[in-house]
Amino acid sequence: MTVRVRFAPSPTGMFHVGGARSALQNWIYAKQQGGVFVLRIEDTDAARNKPEWTEGILSALDWIGISRGSYEGPYFQSANAGEHRAAAARLHESGRAYYCDCTREDVQARTGSQYQGYDGYHRDRGLGPGPGHALRFRTPDEGATVVVDLIRGEPTFENKLIEDFVIARGDGSPVFLLANVVDDMTMGITHVIRAEEHLPNTPKQQLLWEALGVKPPIWAHVPVVVNEKRQKLSKRRDKVALEAYRDEGYLAGAMRNYLMLLGWAPSGDREIVPWSVIEDEFRLDEVNLSSAFFDEKKLRAFNGEYIRALPVAEFVDACQPWLTGTGTIAPPPWQPEEFDADAFAAVAPLAQTRIAVLSEIVPNVDFLFLASPLIDEAAWTKTMKDGSAELLDDAVAAFEALESWDAESLKSTLEAVGAERGLKLGKTQAPVRVAVTGRTVGLPLFESLEVLGRERTLTRMRAARLRLV
């Protein structure tokens, strides 16, 4: 038997990080088993579906390493509508489903409770199809449905506790529960790997598989992804869009690595490991049962490690979208003609050790490419105090006299200026840094001044001095 797994997102919004984790788990499992990864776009919610969301799914999968052409599909659920309706008809004809025109209010009136499930009122009344007549599955009265789950063992559900659930609406359109089952059957899916939030629907789906005469797939329900409050990650409340992390400057490798740790860990006391190790070691039966905490701070730390591990040339290439404003990345504050590739290459090794996401490259190097620095007014107020004007005067004079404009000479010269005032280097260089870069923190100052050059450095220091008059 060839293993066939599927990833079936809906094109109704940005690509959820939890969905990305499920995609990766399915992808790896298929590769390990010599199987097939199938992409199915569940696009039957016409009111919310947009073509750009479908393209977003495809591009997000590309980014995390599941590239177009390496999987089967994408298929679209809407294209299988005829099969969905045919399956509903077969279930009715075989007696496994029946029509019902009860409203929620009708059920509540009979049971006396708004919390009571459907009471089977129309099971044997012979109601036929018609407007407003929903089709309900006839759940067995006795026995239990056992779900074989690679992670959770064999969860067992008593059939008497499963109500006769709707499989087709009053207008004849099948509900998602049935459509999902029929699609999996049509595509020959052998293993369904998905989040545990779907587990309550699994016995219903398994009953549908069996009623349609097909052996159910093997299930694997991975732990749900939660925030720091142990709440399920929500699009409305949490930062969950994979595209947002991509556009902020998270590396695909770091994101892949981190997502795979949500509920699983590689061997040994390690977390940051090559992707080849994850592909080799990942096992569904080793996935934890407890909820998986998506820790953005930890992801950020992961990303910083991945950035620092890049060869400098690759780091320079990786920064280009933020330096040029390409694709979905916002343009930088400088004009294209102001950017100096050689200057950036000179400071790139310094910046690489100081940023955790690639978007941070812009505020670290913007002073190199702007006619004048973007002044952080809070930094100016904090730094430019009594004595700063005179210190800048002395520093300008000392720098003007330098024969060699290099980091070491600049540092020793400014140290001497501060020593005459009884100041340590940290206090001495603070006004110079703000005058030249506009900020109190950033790349190493003297290496930055070397790259910026004598003329531009002195011009900015003089301008800052005039502002202090």
pLDDT tens digits for range 6-43: 999 999 888 999 999 999 999 999 999 999 999 999 98
Residue 115's pLDDT band (boundaries 50, 70, 90)? low
Vertex 79 angle, CA 186 and 136, to 5°: 65
The predicted-structure confidence for 349-397, as pLDDT tens digits, reads as follows 999 999 999 999 999 999 999 999 999 999 999 999 989 999 999 999 9
Q: Can you tell me the distance from the alpha carbon of 48 to that of 370, in angstroms, rounded to the nearest whole number?
A: 44
Q: What local confidence, expressed as pLDDT, does residue 118 receive?
A: 87
119: pLDDT strictly greater than 90: no
pLDDT tens-place string over residues 137-184: 999 999 999 999 999 999 999 999 999 999 999 999 999 999 999 999
- pLDDT of 168 reads 96
Query: What phi and psi, each to the nearest 5 degrees, are found at residue 124?
Result: -125, 30
Which 3 state secondary structure label does DSSP give 423?
Answer: coil
Domains and CATH numbers, the chain: 372-467 (1.10.10.350)
pTM of the model: 0.92
Catalytic residues: 235
For 189-230, the pLDDT digits (tens) are 999 999 999 999 999 999 999 999 999 999 999 999 999 989
Cα–Cα distances (Å) from 338 to 177, 315, 332, in that order, read 57, 21, 11
Question: What's the length of the chain?
Answer: 469
Helix (H, G, I), strand (E, B) or coil at 114: coil
Angstrom distance (rounded) from CA 240 to CA 325: 23
Would the pLDDT of 107 be above 90? no
H helix or E strand, kind and range, residue 89:
helix 81-93
**For residues 288-293, average pLDDT:** 94
Does residue 93 carry a pLDDT above 80? Answer: yes
- Count of C-beta atoms within a 10 Å radius of residue 94: 12
Q: What is the DSSP string of 343-393?
A: HHHHHHHHHHTT-SSGGGHHHHHHHHHSSS----HHHHHHH--TTHHHHHH
Q: What is the spatial distance between Cα 173 and Cα 188, in angstroms, rounded to a whole number?
A: 23
Q: What is the dihedral of CA 437, 442, 443, 445, to 10 degrees?
A: 50
Alpha carbons 83 and 214: distance in angstroms, whole number? 15
Tell whether the model's pLDDT for residue 235 goes beyond 90: no
* pLDDT value at residue 460: 97
Nearest-Å Rg of the Cα atoms of the chain is 31
**Structure tokens, 295:** 């820790």
